[in-house]
Amino acid sequence: MARKGLLPRSTAFCPCVLTVLICHILSFAVTEGSDGENKISSLLATNGQPFPWDKMRLPETVWPLHYDLLIHPNLTTLDFTGTVKIQLDVLQDTAVIILHSKDLRISKAALLESSRILPLQVLEYPAFHQVALLSDGVTLSRGSQCAVYLEFAANLSESFHGFYKSTYRTREGEVRVMASTQFEATSARAAFPCFDEPAFKANFSIQMRREARHISLSNMPKVKTVELSNGLLEDYFDVSVKMSTYLVAFIVSDFLSVSKMSQHGVKISVYAVPEKIDQAEFALNAAVKLLDFYDDYFDIPYPLPKQDLAAIPDFQSGAMENWGLTTYRESALLFDPKKSSASDKLGITMVIAHELAHQWFGNLVTMQWWNDLWLNEGFAKFMEFVSVNITNPELQVEDYFLGKCFEAMEVDALSSSHPVSTPVENPAQIQEMFDDVSYDKGACILNMLRDYLTPEAFKIGIVRYLRRYSYQNTVNTHLWDSLTSICQADDLDEGRLKGGFCSQGKSHSGASKWYTEDELDVRAMMDTWTLQEGFPLITVEVKGREVSLSQERYLKSEDPTQTSGFLWQVPLTYITSRSSTVHRFLLKTKTDVLYLPEEVEWIKFNVDMSGYYIVHYEAGGWDSLISLLQHNHTALSSNDRASLINNIFQLVSIGKVPLDKALDLSLYLSRETEIMPVIQGLGELVPLYKLMEKRDMEELESQMKGYIVNLFQDLIDRQSWTDDGTVSQRMLRSYLLLFACVRSYQPCVRTATDLFHQWRESDGNMSLPNDVSLAVFAVGARTLEGWDFLFEKYRHSLYISVKSRIKSALSISPLAHKLKWMMEQSLEGEVMKTQDLPHVVVSVSKNPKGYKHAWDFLRDSWGSLVKKFDLGSHSIAYMVIGVTNQYSTREMLEEVRAFFGSLREETGSGLRCLQQSLESIEENIRWVDKNLPLLQGWLDRQGPKRRAPGPTGA
């Protein structure tokens, strides 16, 4: 965002204009209020003096222009020292400079003037991670420039954020240490004193001091290395582009790399530990292809000369978009054609696509504040699908997008959800923004808007947005303004709009989305999707040619006060039995009516799930669609079939549709072959018996399991134990065979058992088909001998995809003592990486032999978990929700509520995920109380009761 009254400035150093005030030392601290008047701050610094600022956000009295940063990590003593000189622009007269510092020991602070150095006093206020720099009798004058110089030291972090320690074990068993950064969202301040908010963009000149046996990396290319007198080396990196502190990155390690030039002349390199560098080729080729795609698609050249991708052995999230030095979990970057599965290939490509999209969305154009994080993350998630669909069509990525919308709706259906754009202030609240609403809902509403505007018009608008706000910060309205009146070119469009789309005028077909200017108010429409939480339920009733429409908020809680006053502008799409053309209707009011040209047998809204809403069909509408699925399911696309499965089961939850009608619809799945409807069907049916597992209802649980296995039996029997087929066919095979083996479907268990015995007899050297190896491992892990053998292979494998599949298999074993041991070992982090603990805990919680242990572990280890993974982090939320969301008894509700109620603010009492967890348990209790008799009766009508043998469940 442009700052008022400021002209463009050079980053060259200009000495401060200092005005010496003739006054006594102030006996109290002052801050400037919003009305410009001084007010007394009641905060005290660590030394007992008044701290001269009382807000979590920094004042805008000075602005950083350029950082000269030197960092020297010691990988033996596990600490680091550093110096930073920050050139500043003074925007308001001030006697104090407030900036961020967290757990840093600042040993020297000085104000630099051309002829002298003035020492500065440092006051610390740890609660806000802030320090104040001041000198008696010195004021900085508005319009001047100055610099501050700081020397500091700290320990390398033992967590996954800031400048932290990471380790890996070589093939010979030697443990090696490296140091890497993770600054998003608020951890740059833990590595160097800085203005650690996204709007404070500046240029960075970085130097790294290291031993000769290591290399160092940073955002920019290295320009020179100087040998120091003590034998250490100092690497100098080129000056960065203007960027936010959370995008700064540096690494000291013994990594090796492979490199390639993109078509646009950017050097792309993948870095990994030496013994795994042979697994970097796939990521390198994917990154080259994707960076070239974005360069062309956005028509804005990637501004740096290089793009590094580094696989970090210890990494909390999936990856991080640091400009020019993206960092990844090893599992999100390393790929071996002989060891990795189809889902590995898809997942790695998608993660790389996400981080490279951020080089434009997030890095070049950055949200003003974390309340609009979705402008970064929703766009990057959305662009994953756009880019991979075009660059790697064989990955069939379009099959999976609607799954992201369903995931977002799970959270967004709770009263504890939040708007896409939400006010946040402290670090824990900021961390909580990195959730399914910011990522997946953000992507889904962008996809809906793209479908409404047309892909061509949408692309013109987002390119205009990127051009207008390059190297700046934005808010929601900047995006909507860029997408409105796209055919009125401005001086940044450079002829993009001439010809093509905009020259066609407004004489489009009747199915067009483009109407008159007053109807196309993008901001008015999209504000309804970003400034209020939740999503609409559209109720449809067809009478002859007349279609009555109404909207209300879809909400699982029973609180009617949470649904009133919500209204969306909903871009409806529909097809009918008489017309496969996609028709469109913008619903702006609570109720409306549209008219069909002729009467129809059925109507299907939200074509291909392109809109972020669900649909209820009244007056026989569901009966018509169920009949269509039973007799001719391919009349609808696979995404339309998946969305019908999702919608009808969601409607059961709020009492709009009886459970037996939803189960009637599921019967058609016996003929389904496409991945998304099958996975959605399993995703709706499996949780039903998971609820019963927690209630010891073995008879009904067994019936339900038997029904599901029988429903998909023909499709399971048709699966080969190979890696043949398309990516979607291979992923479906992996999913189905794992399900069948865990459910003890005997043909599956027999084959998996034979393969496991052969693999074990070969000492793990036999090549298993990658896509089915998880099912094989899961069967092998049922015995103590098999579990121990798998664990030894886990310990010594250098193939991260193999380790990942073995770890999953170990966590779904029925051996309860092993499940407890896995969680404890993952927390210790020696044998099993702590980064994998959230996955292990949640996987154990889904296991009927482990769910009680998972809850006990979460509760007993809470203090260690929030220290390691950070309050508000996605990892904490994932464990809280994952461990508790299948409980359905009042006893467990009270136990969970009592524990959450015992927490203090500093240990997480205010976290949103705690409320979401309680809401989910309450919803499960309501669902079970209401629907279990219906389920029992429906299953009885389907035939004799089946027992699904087997001690385990996933």
Residue 33 has pLDDT above 50, yes or no: no
Digit-coded pLDDT (tens) for 347-372: 999 999 999 999 999 999 999 999 99
Contact indicator for 911, 428 with CB cutoff of 8 Å: yes
Residue 28 has pLDDT above 80, yes or no: no
Kindly state the average pLDDT of the residues 721-739.
95
Contact indicator for 920, 884 with CB cutoff of 8 Å: yes
Kindly state the average pLDDT of the residues 735-755.
96
Say whether 161 sits in a helix, a strand or coil: coil
Kindly state the average pLDDT of the residues 848-871.
93
Give the pLDDT of residue 872.
87
Instruction: Reply yes or no on whether 919 is catalytic.
Output: no
CA 807 from centre of chain = 22
111-125, 235-249, 635-649, 740-754: which has the minimum mean pLDDT? 111-125
Instruction: Please name which of 246, 40, 41 lies closest in space to residue 125, comparing C-alpha atoms.
Output: 41
Give the pLDDT of residue 214.
97
In this prediction, what percent of the chain has a pLDDT beyond 90?
83
In this prediction, what percent of the chain has a pLDDT beyond 70?
91
Q: What is the chain's mean pLDDT, rounded?
A: 90
Q: How confident is the model at residue 608 (pLDDT cuts 50, 70, 90)?
A: very high
699 is in an annotated binding site: no
Give the number of other Cβ atoms within 10 Å of residue 905's Cβ: 11
Residue 508 has pLDDT above 50, yes or no: no
Residue 103 has pLDDT above 60, yes or no: yes
CA dihedral sign, ordered 598, 601, 605, 610: negative
Kindly state the average pLDDT of the residues 5-32.
35
Digit-coded pLDDT (tens) for 555-576: 998 776 777 789 999 999 999 9
Cα separation, 367 vs 472, in Å, equals 8
Kindly state the average pLDDT of the residues 651-675.
96
Instruction: Compute CA distances 684 → 410, 651, 666, whole Å.
Output: 12, 12, 9
Kindly state the average pLDDT of the residues 422-439.
90
Digit-coded pLDDT (tens) for 762-806: 999 999 999 999 999 999 999 999 999 999 999 999 999 999 999
Q: Spot the catalytic one: 124, 355, 684, 693.
A: 355
Kindly state the average pLDDT of the residues 843-872.
93
Residue 147 has pLDDT above 90, yes or no: yes
At 79, which amino acid appears? D
Q: How confident is the model at residue 487 (pLDDT cuts 50, 70, 90)?
A: low
Digit-coded pLDDT (tens) for 50-72: 999 999 999 999 999 999 999 99
Residue 17 has pLDDT above 60, yes or no: no
418 is in an annotated binding site: no
Give the pLDDT of residue 512.
41
Q: How confident is the model at residue 8 (pLDDT cuts 50, 70, 90)?
A: very low
CA 297 from centre of chain = 23
354 is in an annotated binding site: yes
Kindly state the average pLDDT of the residues 539-546.
96
More confident residue, 729 or 519: 729
More confident residue, 41 or 418: 418
CA dihedral sign, ordered 767, 768, 770, 776: negative
Digit-coded pLDDT (tens) for 115-126: 778 999 999 999
- Backbone angle region of 88, left / alpha / beta, with phi > 0 → left and psi within -120 to 50 → alpha: beta
More confident residue, 696 or 753: 753
| Tokens found for residue 628 | 């269509």
